[in-house]
Amino acid sequence: MNLARTSVNNPVAANILMVAIILLGLLASDRLPREFLPNITFNMALIITTYPGVSPEEIEKLITIKIEDAIEDVDKIDFISSNSTEGQSMIFVRFEDMSDTDFKFILQDLRSAVDSIDDLPEEAEDPLVLEMATGEMVPVVFVTLSGHLPERELKRCL
C-alpha cells in the first residue's frame, strides 16, 4: 500500500503517529549530551622553558636547539617552530592528523624526549610540555560589573 493513501484514509492514525514522532524526537533531543565548550584537541603541543635574565641568543644556544634536537626523532611531527626571547624558549610542535588516542601516545613520547635532555643549564626551569586543546585555553575577556545600582540598571550599562 501507498503511505500517502493510507494517511489520507486514516487521518486520525496519521496525526497520532506524527505527534508520537515529534514527542519522541523532543524527548531524545533533551537527553542528548551537550557541552557549551567541548574539549577539542588540535594535535599540537607547546614546549616552554624559562631561564630568567638570559639573552635570546644564549636561550637559543643553551635550550632551544637542544630541545629541537631531542624531539626531532618523535614520530608523526609535521612542523616545528621555535621562538627564543629574553629569558624564555617556546617551541611549537604540530603533528600529523591522528586519533585522540594515538595523539596521547605521541604526546607522551614527546614528553619523554624532552625529559631525556640532561645537559640543560641548572638555573633553567624544567621544560613544560603543554597540549594545545580548547580546554587548556583561557577565555579572552572576563567582565565583572559591580555598583550600588539595581541589577537591571547595571545590565543596561553593559
What does the pLDDT look like over 135-148, one tens digit per residue? 666 666 667 767 78
CATH code at position 51:
3.30.70.1430
Which residues constitute the domain of residue 5? 1-34
Closest CA to 114 of 149, 66, 75: 66
Other Cβ atoms closer than 10 A to 93 = 24
Statement to judge: residues 28 and 60 lie in one domain: no
Paired strand residues for 46:
92, 130
Closest CA to 73 of 113, 115, 45, 118: 113
Whether 153 is in a domain gets the answer: no
3-state secondary structure of 36: coil
**What are the angstrom distances between the C-alpha of 87 and each of 12, 20, 25, 46, 102?**
77, 66, 57, 16, 33
Return per-residue pLDDT of the chain as tens, 158 residues.
688 888 899 999 999 999 999 999 999 988 888 777 677 778 999 999 999 999 999 999 999 999 999 999 999 999 999 999 999 999 999 999 998 899 999 999 999 999 999 999 999 999 999 998 776 666 666 677 677 888 788 777 76
If one counts the domains in the chain, the total is: 2
In the block, which residue shows the cell 550599562? 157
